[in-house]
Amino acid sequence: MIRHVAMFSWIPEATAEQKQRVAAELAALAPLMRGLRGYLFGADAHLVEGNADFAVVADFEDAEAYLAYRHHPAHVEVVNRAIQPIARQRTTIQIEI
């Protein structure tokens, strides 16, 4: 199984509406993804200063399912339309679990 973790820091100008749009559009992706075993995302709980603003954790059956998600046109569209315009920084990792 592959766990994909993505963390984002937003630009200071990002509006609450833009941040909510990211979450709504990510939620719409889940039913489209083959091999998706778990999918969590949300804003930082503000327990530690300096954290990223938002994270996605997705578990996939295998590397092939992760790569299908990564290149899926709906996922690419969400990244381009909702995430990139407000992302200051993005960090990702994929680990075998």
In this predicted model, what pLDDT tens digit does every residue of 43-91 receive, in sequence order? 999 999 999 999 999 999 999 999 999 999 999 999 999 999 999 999 9
The CATH number given to whatever domain includes residue 41 is 3.30.70.100
Range of the domain at 37: 2-96
Residue with tokens 């569209």: 77
Q: What's phi and psi for 11, nearest 5 deg?
A: -70, 155
What's the confidence (pLDDT) of residue 74? 96
In this predicted model, what pLDDT tens digit does every residue of 19-49 receive, in sequence order? 999 999 999 999 999 999 999 999 999 999 9
Number of domains in the chain: 1
Tell me the CA distances in angstroms from 43 to 35, 61, 74, one per residue in order. 25, 25, 22
